[in-house]
Amino acid sequence: MSHGPRARFHAYFAAMGHVPGALLLLAVALLPVAPSVSVVVAYAGLLPFVWKGRFRLDPVQGLWRTPLPWTAAFFLLHAIGMLWTSDTGFGLFDLQIKSPLLLLPLLALMAGRPLARYRDVFLFVFALVNAVMVFVCIAAALFRIAQGSDLSPAQELFSSYWSLVLHPSYFALYLSAAIAGWCLLPVHGWLPRPAGVVVLILLSLGVVLSGSKMGWILLPLLLIALIVLRWRERAVRNALMGMGALSAMGVAVLMASSPYARERVQEMLKAAGDEPRDTTTVASSEVRRLTWATAWDLSLRDPWLGTGTGDIKNELVAAYEERGYTGAAEKRLNAHSQYMQSAACLGIPGFLFTIAMVLVPLFAGRPRDPMLLLFLLLNGLNWLVESMLEVQAGAVFFALLTTVLACSPERGHPLDPVT
């Protein structure tokens, strides 16, 4: 690394301390590898500051304009939803999944360390680890092919088997966020240009190979947005335009060579145009139409309280069985939309707090922070088709990176105490 990044990392460790600073970087690095471990490491990195400050929570400026109070409120609403829950076991499990949405912002506030000042350091590590994970997934698929896999080479390189750790939809979201950070922040200049281009290639290639339909839809939109935002930076602009062309070629090659890829796209188009006729289906696009309709009807049944935090899963499965949606019932699927899931679980308040986490920071922050804006849009759009806050891979990712991206260096730091 050049003098610039060395100085940046030196400043980071000087502010955070070597052990807590290393733990926080490790937490970000573990996100695409082990989200459940990542959050525990993040707690360990923040607790020394919290202990030193005697758990004092100082007033902060502009906090409501960040996602942090809204993620905490989202969790607290689920805690209140335990009052009309009969399945307390699942309710407590759900609260444990969502607890980082409260605890990470709270610990960061108590720690008195505005992590967003070092967002470039965190995003540099996050992007590199994601690029390495793409390389590992490709290498593992090639190894399985060389060993004589039962699957075709196209399936090994393009199917749910390709993503070794995360669900492909979540991995595509992680990679998209890493692309945004790599291009918007100065970190792309921290490596020699060829190495920086390789990182961007791996991140973009990973989105294509993940097979996530939402990832495919959002990748060209993300690249266009980044080209517009970085138009004056010739090297970044050219790299992004090249990535767009390569990504399009990659999708075209997959469509031509992989029957599985064609089936995925045909399934999506069919589900978008026709009402599902096979109520036993578990095809990802078609079954979403069934789960969305079921969650919508549950939200209408009790629009103010919902099913309760612990009963949402049982109520969904019971409704699937009643309607003959045997595939969805056997898989015990959630609503496959965070907005529908929250509305069915906690009624109108749950729905409003879900959209507040995305929309309030987008419209209340002045001036607009492009990195936070793109991060929130990527999550908010993925929440249309996945209940991402119902699993650790989604909840920890959103909680940790919103804490890191809570403010823009251009408009001050909401995590700074009021003076």
DSSP codes joined into one string, 150-199:
SS-HHHHHSSTTT-SSS-HHHHHHHHHHHHHHHHHSGGGGSS-HHHHHHH
In a domain, 283, yes or no: no
CA distance linking residue 42 with residue 27, whole number of Å: 5
Q: Quick one: which of 399, 375, 396 has its CA closest to 34? A: 396
The tokens for 31 are 């996100």
User: Residues 302-326: what's their mean pLDDT?
Assistant: 96
In a domain, 320, yes or no: no
In a domain, 295, yes or no: no
| Contact call for residues 347 and 303 (beta carbons, < 8 A) | yes
pLDDT tens by residue, 135-147: 999 999 999 999 9
Residue bearing tokens 């190894």: 143
pLDDT tens by residue, 337-382: 999 999 999 999 999 999 999 999 888 866 678 999 999 999 999 9
Which parts of 230-283 fold into alpha helices (H)?
A: 234-257, 259-273
Instruction: Please give the residue range of the domain that contains residue 9.
Output: 3-268+345-411
pLDDT value at 408 more than 90: no
DSSP codes joined into one string, 65-100:
GSSHHHHHHHHHHHHHGGGG-S-HHHHHHHHHHHTH
Residue bearing tokens 């281009």: 197
267 or 185, greater pLDDT: 185
In a domain, 387, yes or no: yes
279 or 143, greater pLDDT: 143
pLDDT tens by residue, 34-85: 999 999 999 999 999 999 988 998 777 788 888 999 999 999 999 999 999 9
In a domain, 333, yes or no: no
CA distance linking residue 65 with residue 42, whole number of Å: 23
In a domain, 73, yes or no: yes
Q: Which has the minimum average pLDDT: 24-38, 193-207, 278-292? A: 278-292
| Contact call for residues 199 and 191 (beta carbons, < 8 A) | yes
In a domain, 314, yes or no: no
CA distance linking residue 169 with residue 206, whole number of Å: 11
The pLDDT assigned to 277 comes to: 58
In a domain, 337, yes or no: no
DSSP codes joined into one string, 27-52:
HHHHTTT-HHHHHHHHHHHHHHHHHH
> What pTM was estimated for this model as a whole?
0.94
The pLDDT assigned to 317 comes to: 97
What is the number of other CB atoms lying within 10 angstroms of the CB of residue 292?
18
User: Residues 288-306: what's their mean pLDDT?
Assistant: 95
The pLDDT assigned to 4 comes to: 73
The pLDDT assigned to 369 comes to: 84
Torsion 369-373-376-378 (CA) sign: negative
Mean pLDDT of the chain: 90
pLDDT tens by residue, 163-205: 999 999 999 999 999 999 999 999 999 999 999 999 999 999 9
Q: What is the CA radius of gyration of the chain?
A: 22
Domains: count for the chain? 1
Confidence of residue 419 (pLDDT cuts 50, 70, 90): very low
Residue type, 223: L
Local structure of residue 148 (DSSP, 8 states): T
